[in-house]
Structure 1
Amino acid sequence: MNAKIPVDLILRNIEESRKTTRKKLRRATAVLTSKLDTDISTTPYRIVYEEDRVKLKHYRPEQVKCQTPLLIIYALINRETMLDLQPRRSVVESLLAQGVEIYMVDWGYPTRKDQYLTIGDHVNGFIANIVDFICKEKKIEQLNIMGICMGGVFSIIYTALNPHRVKNLVTTVTPSNFDTDKGLLNVWMKQTDAQILGDVYANMPGDIMNLGFLLLNPARLIIDKYVGFIQNIDDKNYVENFIRMEKWIFDSPDVPAATFREFIDELYKKNLLIDSKLVIDGERVDLQKITMPVLNFYGRFDHLVPPEMCGLLTSRIGSSDKEDICFDTGHIGIYVSSKCQREFAPKIAAWLLARDNKNESLQSEEKHGQKRQALQALL
């Protein structure tokens, strides 16, 4: 005996779903046209240095506990505002609360005149000039550096070429080993003709890169995300957080063509960095010259920079004080998830403070030893 299909029930459910969806959409329109707190990058700062399109932000804590300032170098892709997305969920705010003085690079928006800028121009030009400026202003010889994603690659290169300038190095979701097929982005990049893209667009358009990132996981990043937004439309905090993130995602500067081409050809395709074979402005980037303390963070579920691209770094550098930390998160979650907010910035601050004080103690002991030797010589 065939079971009777409950057509009436199905139709009633469809009608109810339709009414609910229409109600949610009307509510979404009302919410999106209302006054919302969706500003990002609200922590106060000063612009203390400018060079062409590049600016340097300075954040000073109420009480400085770490005597060595931290320079944060973000990627050229998207914007550094990710680290200060909203109050109480801000890496910058958390580091300041723990006494870390911050300088952060704002790469600005490249134009056609920037299309010939290479990795070397960014590392030996902008970054080197910024480091020199900070050291001169603070009357110090070294600073701490924290690099993020592509900015982490720049940080590794700068540190290997200028180890005397870097006291401690922190890398976060930073690719260093490109010899892996983990992650669809790796597969795509190795098939990309960066020269043609540069010839067509001058610079690599941020909008095209954004589209590519979305297509890596369209079901989650396009469909599920906006369905979730509609379902949570009555939650004001959820809506404001959602819009802040959208503002950041779609604030996508272009990447200078020459830098993009080098990144694809020298790193993704030839994997020169991890083997210390990368040459920048005629000088080999030798990872063994990175002898200062290194803290390396990455995300277990990062679909853009999977763990296989990050975890090999500490085995190739010359430092004996090195640590890998893997969070159960994705590429962006390491900066904005509630759990990581409780652990990420506090870990960085504690790690820097421990080495700041340790180095000061060693210097103090060395000075006392020199005084004792001088006194004994007089006696």
Structure 2
Amino acid sequence: MFPLFISPEQAIQDMLEFQKKLGEGLTTLTQLEQFEVGITPKEAVYHEDKLTLYRYKPMVDNPNPTPILIVYALVNRPYMLDLQPNRSLIKNLLSQGQDVYLIDWGYPDGADRYLTLADYVNGYIHRSVKAVCKRHGIDKINVLGVCQGGALSLSYSAIHPERVNSLITMVTPVDFHTPDNLLSHWVNKLDVDLLVDTLGNIPGELLNWTFLSMKPFRLTGQKYLDMLDNLADSGAAANFLRMEKWIFDSPDQAGEAFREFIKQYFQNNGLIKGKVCIGEHPVDLKNVTMPVLNIYASDDHLVPPSASKVLGRFIGTEDYTEVVFKGGHIGIYVSGRAQKQVPTAITEWLDQLSSR
């Protein structure tokens, strides 16, 4: 190996450049006005406990008569799908003629300690679906499940197929025991009973640092150094802060539902083994008989492609389509490429269904 040599002059120059960037960045941050997330106009159409069901204002005169209900993960906030005007999956779906609803799970507290997966799937999701159906005078809707929300949507669709016209899953884990699933390797060693019995609800901060630890150098160090290269630009600084807000805005998790999800989905890999049970309802993926669109990311470090693209082997429909997005778990929501590709793929697929 060649020895690393940095001259004193170069070191001084680098330090001066660093200080200059830092000073410019601090000036930019002090001048930033308050920024918003979740920017697309919407109205609350249903409330229950911490849950709010939103309908986004349609952007075309005659949107798709079968609306989409987005079921996001429990572990993060759903405004990642509507982060800012030029980075919004929801806005792009609306502009392409979709009628979009979204479940906002809110922030669980001590009163939610004993909520189970049955409360979430057969309770909250089911009643939200019925609320959307009632508003439109229809019997079934399109469901878009994201990450953990995709696993819950698969479970819901298997239990209530009569309510789901089509199912779209995004970066959704299906096989939780693939060799390249680092998160699963960690979770399989977890004494979840001890954790929940000790803490009750699981702190969102604990889970957030778990996710960050999967890429510790990149996510807790390098990105802040890279930030300095763009921080003098107020637009870039606001973009960075929006992402930071989302990353660290992590709700606590209802203890019993967390225990059930870790045991049944992660540790027992029950979704593909037919061993998940939501309350009294077994989850058999063969009951997922509606058309399915499965979108996964090629460079996803949280839900590797191998964990997601097996879905077609286990569901009960041959009307199955896969779309691979070249990017990562977060890029599939907010990257420039995603804004062009993902909403278009969803809309074109739904249009094909409607034309049959």
TM-score scaled to structure 2, two decimals?
0.96
8 Å CA contact 1:169–1:293 kept in 2: the answer is yes
Aligned with residue 289 of structure 2, among 291, 296, 308: 291
Q: What is the CA deviation profile of residues 299-338 of structure 1, one whole-angstrom value per residue up to 9, with x for unaligned ones?
A: 1111111111111111111112101111121111111111
**Match of 1:100, SS?**
coil
Tell me by how many angstroms 1:162 deviates. Answer: 0.5
Aligned-partner Cα distance in 1 for 2:319–2:181: 30
8 Å CA contact 1:173–1:310 kept in 2: the answer is yes
Find the counterpart in structure 2 of residue 215 from structure 1. 213
Aligned-partner Cα distance in 1 for 2:277–2:193: 19
8 Å CA contact 1:266–1:278 kept in 2: the answer is yes
The one-letter code of the counterpart of 2:91 is: E
8 Å CA contact 2:70–2:145 kept in 1: the answer is yes
Aligned with residue 94 of structure 1, among 92, 97, 102: 92
**Match of 2:250, SS?**
coil
8 Å CA contact 1:38–1:241 kept in 2: the answer is no
Do residues 143 (structure 1) and 141 (structure 2) align? Answer: yes
State the 4+ residue runs in structure 1 displaced beyond 4 angstroms: none
The one-letter code of the counterpart of 2:41 is: P
Tell me by how many angstroms 1:265 deviates. Answer: 0.9
**Match of 1:33, SS?**
helix
**Matching of residues 130-169 of structure 1 within 5 Å:** 130-169=128-167
Aligned-partner Cα distance in 2 for 1:36–1:17: 31
The one-letter code of the counterpart of 2:289 is: T
**Match of 1:99, SS?**
coil
Aligned with residue 43 of structure 1, among 34, 40, 43: 40
The one-letter code of the counterpart of 2:318 is: S
**Matching of residues 1-379 of structure 1 within 5 Å:** 10-36=7-33, 38-63=35-60, 64-358=62-356
Aligned-partner Cα distance in 1 for 2:191–2:28: 44
Q: What is the CA deviation profile of residues 256-312 of structure 1, one whole-angstrom value per residue up to 9, with x for unaligned ones?
A: 111111111111111111122211112211111111100001111111111111111
**Match of 1:297, SS?**
strand
**Match of 1:329, SS?**
coil
**Match of 1:30, SS?**
helix
Tell me by how many angstroms 1:179 deviates. Answer: 1.9
Aligned-partner Cα distance in 1 for 2:76–2:279: 26
Aligned-partner Cα distance in 1 for 2:93–2:33: 27
Aligned-partner Cα distance in 2 for 1:215–1:286: 34
Aligned-partner Cα distance in 1 for 2:161–2:202: 31
Say which is worse superposed, 43-52 or 303-312, in terms of deviation.
303-312
Change beyond 3 A, Cα 1:35–1:236: closer
Tell me by how many angstroms 1:344 deviates. Answer: 0.2
Aligned-partner Cα distance in 1 for 2:204–2:172: 19
Tell me by how many angstroms 1:37 deviates. Answer: 6.1
8 Å CA contact 2:296–2:323 kept in 1: the answer is yes
Tell me by how many angstroms 1:203 deviates. Answer: 0.9
Q: Which runs of 5+ in 1 are unaligned?
A: 359-379
The one-letter code of the counterpart of 2:317 is: S
Give the aligned CA root-mean-square deviation in angstroms. Answer: 1.4
The one-letter code of the counterpart of 2:115 is: L
Aligned-partner Cα distance in 2 for 1:20–1:36: 26
8 Å CA contact 2:68–2:101 kept in 1: the answer is yes
Aligned-partner Cα distance in 2 for 1:265–1:18: 50
Aligned-partner Cα distance in 2 for 1:319–1:37: 48
8 Å CA contact 1:48–1:57 kept in 2: the answer is yes
8 Å CA contact 1:304–1:331 kept in 2: the answer is yes
Aligned-partner Cα distance in 1 for 2:130–2:178: 36
The one-letter code of the counterpart of 1:103 is: Y
8 Å CA contact 1:68–1:356 kept in 2: the answer is no
Q: Which runs of 5+ in 2 are unaligned?
A: none
**Match of 1:319, SS?**
coil
The one-letter code of the counterpart of 1:11 is: P
TM-score scaled to structure 1, two decimals?
0.90
8 Å CA contact 2:71–2:145 kept in 1: the answer is yes
Say which is worse superposed, 103-112 or 12-21, in terms of deviation.
12-21
